[in-house]
Amino acid sequence: MDLGNLYQDVILEHNRNPRNWGELPPPNDRADGRNPMCGDEVTVWLKLEGDRVTDISFVGTGCAISKASASMMTQAIKGKTRAEAEAVFEQFHAMVTGHHANPAGDATVGKLKVFAGVARFPARVKCASLAWHAMHEALHQAHSRAS
């Protein structure tokens, strides 16, 4: 697979059929993200039970990269502990900003490696990381509310 190509089939498919689409009812935590440069907007809902993300969803508008990234983020984070979610966030962020030495060989990154090509397009880094930052914020909110 050529990870240099920005629009992988997987990305286009998630853009067409986003997973975990919709809202979670209160009192679950939510966080919004906006990327004015591209017009992307995303809201992420997250349910933290104990130390585990038992449910996560999103609604958003914007480009294919932002939507597919949000969709795959929810799949990657659902069921993870807080520490695991933070680890995936860090590796994903390192990858799209070009600071990950070997994303294809990193089990934490897994399927998310289809976003490796984003690192070559600085203007798209925000598109790819928007939902991740929102997830990160919602996770912090949920944790501080619970503790």
Q: Which residues bind Zn ion (CB under 5 A)?
A: 38, 40, 62-63, 66, 127
Q: Smaller CB distance to Zn ion: residue 28 or 71?
A: 71
Q: Smaller CB distance to Zn ion: residue 41 or 84?
A: 41
* In the complex, least distance from residue 41 CB atom to Zn ion, rounded to whole angstroms: 10
Residues 6+ away with beta carbon under 8 Å from 144: none
* In the complex, least distance from residue 102 CB atom to Zn ion, rounded to whole angstroms: 26
| Amino acid occupying residue 27 | P
Q: Smaller CB distance to Zn ion: residue 29 or 40?
A: 40
Residues 6+ away with beta carbon under 8 Å from 110: 76
Nearest to 128 by CA among 104, 109, 107, 105: 109
* In the complex, least distance from residue 66 CB atom to Zn ion, rounded to whole angstroms: 4
- Structural Rg of the chain based on CA atoms: 14
* In the complex, least distance from residue 63 CB atom to Zn ion, rounded to whole angstroms: 3
* In the complex, least distance from residue 142 CB atom to Zn ion, rounded to whole angstroms: 26
DSSP code for 4:
T
Q: Smaller CB distance to Zn ion: residue 76 or 127?
A: 127
Q: Smaller CB distance to Zn ion: residue 41 or 137?
A: 41
Residue 34's H or E segment, with its range, is strand 29-35
Look at the block and give the residue holding tokens 């050529």: 2
Start-end of H helices in 18-112: 64-77, 82-96
